[in-house]
Structure 1
Amino acid sequence: MEAILQTRLGELPPGYGRLPGTGPLDMARWLMVDDAYAAQMAERERLLRDHRGEVVAMEPGREAVAAEALRMVLAHLGEREEWAEEAGRVTCPDGRRVTVDEADPLGTLGRLIAEDICLLEARDGAQVLVGAVLCFPSRWVLAEKIGRPMLRIHAPVPGYGEALNARVERMMGALRPGVGLWRANGHFHSDPMLFYPRPEVAKKEWEAEARYFRSERQALIRMPETGATLFSIHTTVVEASALTEAQRARVTG
């Protein structure tokens, strides 16, 4: 399969390289349309058609959370010139027309935007993953994470322990509707494939330098009705040679 690449990496946040490294989110620039949008959406359509059970999951009884996420995204798209909605159908930036299926909010989200969407709820003092449409996982498997709290989800991640988790939980607990946060991560990869699931038991080798660089632009937004947290992930994969000198200094420093 041909690699789907952007031509440039784009903006890195001031806190890049630190954990959690978040900054204020400009809501007008929440969802991304870049030069890989059409190709990424074609891949999302394929994954939702052929691998639905691997890329969509929701805990029973969390339908209201997923429905609110869809309404929030549709409201945002209504303010953007790249999308147009009429009579329950959305014309996307690549020309596809997507029917809004309220009975399948996560699947609809997966067809509208390039971002993956994870939904988290506070439960027993921890943020728990209760639903997601995750077409572009990077070294993790959705089925292993659904219903798990943040600390358990990040158990395989080097350096993510109880102290950092406590900071992340406090940060997420303090989120207020209308005021989001964003951050970004990045790693060199030999494999540019967007759908890159790996089970927890698999050995994960992080490369100091490789042909490609993969980055996730992540946003955290409190949803006002259910109080759940919407966590969006926009994935960029570029040739490592496309990094500017300033970007390379930051991602390798």
Structure 2
Amino acid sequence: MSEILQKTIPYDPLAEVPLPGISPLDWADWLIVDEAYGGQMARREALLEGQRDAVYALDESGFEAACELLDKIVAQVLARDDYVREGDVVTCPDGRQVVLDRASPLVTAARLVQEDLCLLDKRGDEHVLVGAVLCFPASWMLAEKYMRPLVGIHEPVADYTDNIAKRVQRLFDGVRADRPLWRFNALWYHDPELFQPRSAFEPRRIGAGSGDGPYLRSEKQSILRLPESGAVVFSIHTFVLKREDVAGA
């Protein structure tokens, strides 16, 4: 279990910011490789192997955008010293070798980085979730959100009012390819498990995000536009820290 936990977090997760809490993101800070990389990637591989239908979906309409995202991620990680490419094989910081399989672009991209990856495409007036690798959900299920628009994705989040929904949709409409954005959330959990799906129709499990647990779970959520397809990427880097490792807790 300790292998999936971080000791530090590169922002103050307890800072109070009004929703939707969006800030500009430096491209260099988009993808993070931290001390939990090996443990979290092992958990991701196990989920992709054993529960793929629960953590992966891609509509054929999102295939080209997924290929574009894979290319962007490969370029980004190869700028680091801890990824090495030889032909179509990338050796990752934990020693795993990932074949660059363009027939399965979204899964290939997700096997390179800690971030969960969601692809959204504009359909009418709203962005729709056309693909995702979601191995570390915090109390939601990919099957219930796949091919749904932003408002549907956020049901039944209590703080997601009509006003905030409109602001978020404007945000997705306006995000520029050269100016990514980010936000974060934070909740206390009793269970440090990364894979915590929950149906919107089920009551919240006692201890999950209840405010008094021994683990802080914080998601660094990045929003970026792919320049060629115009699709929006919503990526999620999950931090889980013991309470004693959280400054100010």
Could you say whether these structures have the same fold, taking a TM-score greater than 0.5 normalized by the shorter chain as the test? yes
Aligned counterpart, 1:44: 44
Residue 223 of structure 1 pairs with residue 226 of structure 2: yes
Q: Give the deviation of 1:61 after TM superposition.
A: 2.6
What is the CA–CA distance in structure 1 between the aligned matches of 2:75 and 2:15, rounded to whole Å?
A: 29
Kept in 1, the 8 Å contact 2:220–2:237? The answer is yes
Change (3 A) 1:220 1:207: same
Name segments (4+ residues, structure 1) moved above 2 Å.
Answer: 1-4, 12-17
Kept in 2, the 8 Å contact 1:17–1:185? The answer is no
Aligned counterpart, 1:243: 246
Aligned counterpart, 1:251: none
Change (3 A) 1:243 1:14: closer
Change (3 A) 1:13 1:192: closer
Q: Give the deviation of 1:126 after TM superposition.
A: 0.6
CA RMSD for the aligned pairs? Answer: 1.6
What is the CA–CA distance in structure 2 between the aligned matches of 1:37 and 1:16, rounded to whole Å?
A: 27
Change (3 A) 1:224 1:7: same
Counterparts of 1:146-157 in structure 2, within 5 Å, are: 146-157=146-157
Q: Give the deviation of 1:86 after TM superposition.
A: 1.8
Q: Deviations over 1:180-209 (max 9, x none)?
A: 001110000011100000011111254121
Q: Deviations over 1:4-63 (max 9, x none)?
A: 211123313897532110111010121111110000011111011101111110123321
Kept in 2, the 8 Å contact 1:119–1:132? The answer is yes
Change (3 A) 1:3 1:74: closer
Kept in 2, the 8 Å contact 1:13–1:22? The answer is no
Change (3 A) 1:58 1:170: same
Counterparts of 1:4-23 in structure 2, within 5 Å, are: 4-12=4-12, 16-23=16-23
Kept in 2, the 8 Å contact 1:9–1:242? The answer is no
Aligned residues: 246
Q: Which residue identity does 1:239 align to in structure 2?
A: K
Aligned counterpart, 1:188: 188
Counterparts of 1:41-190 in structure 2, within 5 Å, are: 41-190=41-190
Kept in 1, the 8 Å contact 2:47–2:135? The answer is yes
Q: Which residue identity does 1:164 align to in structure 2?
A: I
Q: Give the deviation of 1:75 after TM superposition.
A: 1.4
Q: Deviations over 1:159-183 (max 9, x none)?
A: 1021101001111111111210011
Kept in 2, the 8 Å contact 1:13–1:23? The answer is no
Instruction: Name the SS for the 1:130 alignment partner.
Output: strand
Instruction: Name the SS for the 1:61 alignment partner.
Output: helix
Kept in 2, the 8 Å contact 1:214–1:237? The answer is yes
**The one of 231, 235, 243 aligned to 1:232:** 235
What is the CA–CA distance in structure 2 between the aligned matches of 1:146 and 1:111, rounded to whole Å?
A: 20
Q: Deviations over 1:197-238 (max 9, x none)?
A: 001111125412111110000101100011000111000001
What is the CA–CA distance in structure 2 between the aligned matches of 1:15 and 1:2, rounded to whole Å?
A: 25
Counterparts of 1:17-32 in structure 2, within 5 Å, are: 17-32=17-32
> Which consecutive residues of structure 2, in runs of 5 or more, have no partner in the other structure?
none
Instruction: Name the SS for the 2:127 alignment partner.
Output: strand
Please, which moves more after superposition, 57-66 or 226-235? 57-66
Q: Percent identity?
A: 43
Q: Which residue identity does 1:8 align to in structure 2?
A: T
What is the CA–CA distance in structure 2 between the aligned matches of 1:160 and 1:50, rounded to whole Å?
A: 33
Q: Give the deviation of 1:241 after TM superposition.
A: 1.6
